[in-house]
Amino acid sequence: MGALCDFCGEQRPTIYCRSDAASLCLSCDRNVHSANALSRRHMRTLLCDRCASQPAAVRCLEENTSLCQNCDWNGHGATSLAAGHKRQPINCYSGCPSSEELSRIWSFAMDTHTAADEPNCEEGISMMSINDSGVNNHYAAEQESSLLDIASTALMSHPPTVEKLKPLNSGDGMNLRPLATHQPAGSVSVTPKVQCITDENMFDDGSIYEDFCVDDADLTFENYEELFGTSHIQTEQLFDDAGIDSYFETKEMPATESKEELKPMQPECSNVVSADSSLCIPSRHAISSISLSFSGLTGESNAGDHQDCGVSPMLLMGEPPWLPPGSEGSFASGSRGSALTRYKEKKKRRKFDKKIRYASRKARADVRKRVKGRFVKAGEAYDYDPLSETRSY
DNA sequence: CTTTTATATCGGTCCACATAATTCG
DNA sequence: CGCGAATTATGTGGACCGATATAAA
């Protein structure tokens, strides 16, 4: 990624779109993502001020900078001084929010980015026909109205806790999502986040966990694309869906094997935290975190993900060096099955949301007549017409 | 408990053709 | 080196098929 907007190549990029794996200036962001209903669904967030290549996850209020997980944990949180900085999670957004709405979401950032750095972009926005009123079809209206229901960005210190995440994760229709700054790999690899795992208070009565574990699986499998940067091509080369899927199924399934089902989970934990195995107290939260680690490796993550995690994919795929305590063996065997089912369903859904490189080709394929699923020559008999769904014979 | 059968799931393949990419003069 | 024409390569979606996994008998 360069220092310029991937689209116009002129302005300084401010927004990172995971679906497009692109850094965009504010103007181009709106331009590109107002093109159609699908693009409006792209989740975007601020660009990391430090590396300028990853989506920002948190805003350091002390330094007044937006940071991706990697920069936050490695560069920023690494120092004891900065580790105590107040951080504010940065929300993702979709749709085509107006500049006012964006400034409401990111009041801290838009002051600097928009007003100071991208005067032209702002001007561009005001001039664009696809502005707030321009994209006022029903879908966009929904998007924008839900944008107004923005989840508040609670102040936090490192580390964020499960409780703080829960409400952000609970809104199903919300198109504004927090970046998970509690990502597992990081959470077990950097000291400050150990609290997250060892905070037994969190699980004293088990209630939080019970609420969390299943929903967290949801978070894991549904939002990981939003949580991590995405690069379709790169990741398919690294880990295609089948790969992680098979890993999932062969190692995690069957759900009925309560005694051994956790074995496969351990390598994640043990390897990820190999630098400090004492961190890997196999708490239930850790298990949830582990599943999040999986999410970072599935289909549409990219090299940056692993960079973010600070763990190489190969390491993550390693064999389990030790077995978990038996207490975890009974962990949510039932909910695991349902979580897996939901994961598969969502994975299936994601396939429909695959990246289309050439929209024109898709548009054409969408209207091509077929015989048993195969394209037929123009004018020849067909058994399926996507437009009329009629047969020619 | 083992074997057989039925069912479900998954990935790969095929097709035509517009268009992107490459080659050539 | 740049340009235009010609050629080649690519990508797109739905249905099908074989391999594999899982469940049931």
What are the tens digits of pLDDT across the range A184-241? 333 333 333 333 333 333 333 333 333 333 333 333 333 333 333 333 333 333 333 3
- pLDDT at residue number A274: 31
pLDDT band of residue A52 (cuts 50, 70, 90) is confident
Mean pLDDT of A331-350: 45
The A 242-261 residues near strand C by Cβ under 7 Å are 249-250, 253-254, 256
Question: Is strand B less than 7 A from the beta carbon of A393?
Answer: no
Asked if strand C contacts A358 at the CB level, meaning under 7 A, the answer is yes
- Over residues A302-331, mean pLDDT: 32
pLDDT reported for residue A16: 79
- A359-CA/C23-C1' distance, Å: 42
The model's pLDDT over A139-161, given as tens digits with 9 standing for 90+, comes to 333 333 333 333 333 333 333 33
Cβ contact A348 with chain C strand, < 7 A: no
DSSP H or E stretch at residue A195 = helix A194-198
Residue A243 predicted with pLDDT over 70: no
Nucleotide nearest to A363 (CA to C1'): C12
Tell me which of A344 and A144 has the higher pLDDT.
A344
Q: Helix/strand/coil (H, E, C) string of A279-344? A: HCCCCHHHHHHHHHHHHHHCCCECHHHHHHHCCCHHHHCCCCCCCCCHHHCCCCHHHHHHHHHHHH
Angle value at C-alpha A235, between A237 and A73, nearest 5 degrees: 135
**Which pTM was predicted?**
0.35
For residue A164, report the phi and psi dihedrals to the nearest 5 degrees.
Answer: -70, -25
Q: Which nucleotide is closest, CA of A357 to its C1'? A: C11
Cα separation, A253 vs A296, whole angstroms? 19
- Does the pLDDT value for residue A385 go beyond 60? yes
Q: Is the CB of A377 under 7 A from strand C?
A: no
Q: Distance (Å) from CA A260 to C1' C18?
A: 32
Span A82-92, mean pLDDT? 70
Stated in angstroms, how far is A370 CA from C12 C1'? 13
Top mean pLDDT of A6-10, A118-122, A176-180, A346-350 is at: A6-10
Measured CA angle at A284 (ends A350, A348), to 5 deg: 10
Give, as ranges, the nucleotides of chain B with any atom within 7 Å of a protein CB. 9-12, 14-20
Highest-scoring range by mean pLDDT, A87-101, A163-177, A234-248: A87-101
Give distance CA A373 / C1' B14 (Å).
9
Which two structure tokens, joined as six digits, stand for A207? 């209630």
- Tell me what the mean pLDDT of segment A330-336 comes to: 38
Q: What is the predicted pLDDT for the residue at A74?
A: 66
Nearest Cα residue to A95 out of A47, A35, A11: A35
Q: What beta strand segments (E) does A135-220 contain?
A: 156-157
When pLDDT is averaged across residues A27-47 and rounded to a whole number, the result is: 72
Q: Which residue is nearest to nucleotide C22 (CA to C1')?
A: A254
* CA A256 / C1′ C22 distance in Å: 13
Least confident of A110-119, A248-257, A332-341: A248-257
Strand C nucleotides where any atom sits below 7 Å of a protein CB: 10-16, 21-23
- Average pLDDT, rounded, for chain A: 49
Higher pLDDT, A35 or A251: A35
CA to C1' distance (Å), from A368 to C15: 14
